[in-house]
Amino acid sequence: MRGVVIAAAAAKSYPPELSTAVTKSGDMSLPKDERLKYLRGTFFAAGNDPTVWLEGWHADASESQRLAGLATRQQDWWAAGTVPLLDLQADTDPFHPIERMNELKDELGDRVTVVVIAHASHALLPEQPKAVVDAIVAWVRGL
């Protein structure tokens, strides 16, 4: 493996209420308007369309992911091995505030390249697909 792309990863720590908002975003028993409120505030930058994430949530998968996160020590995966890393960040991601954008680079040094994608949040890929692809291609060409 020549490198790892980390897209819209959370900071080392973030407010616990965000986890609650993620759960409510995918709670299919809640009214769509309420879920859209959580999707907008947790995943999507202002003006981006959160309706693309109203469907496709699976309670069993979400619960498995939650349990795996609780059972796995952050230090076991945080460094993503030893290869170069592209840390793709969104400029309005509540899980990774812009003032902490160099957190991974400060810890792991020159193997980390940070690229911040404008007008995006934690749902980075559906929000700014072209910018994400362009950043990845440019980084890969430099490996």
Q: Alpha helices, DSSP H only, in 72-123? A: 103-108
Q: What is the pLDDT of residues 13-31, one digit of tens each?
A: 999 899 999 999 999 999 9
Q: What is the pLDDT of residues 29-64, one digit of tens each?
A: 999 999 999 999 999 999 999 999 999 988 888 889
To the question of pTM greater than 0.75 for the whole model, the response is yes
Q: Collapse the DSSP code of 114 into the 3-class scheme (helix H, G, I; strand E, B; otherwise coil) and give the result.
A: strand
The separation between the first and the last C-alpha atoms of the chain, rounded to the nearest angstrom, is 11
All domains of the chain, ordered by start, with CATH? Answer: 4-141 (3.40.50.1820)
Please determine, for residue 122, whether its predicted confidence score (pLDDT) is greater than 90.
yes
Q: What is the pLDDT of residue 91?
A: 97
Contact present, 74 and 9 (Cβ < 8 Å): no
> Any bridge partners for residue 115, and if so which?
88
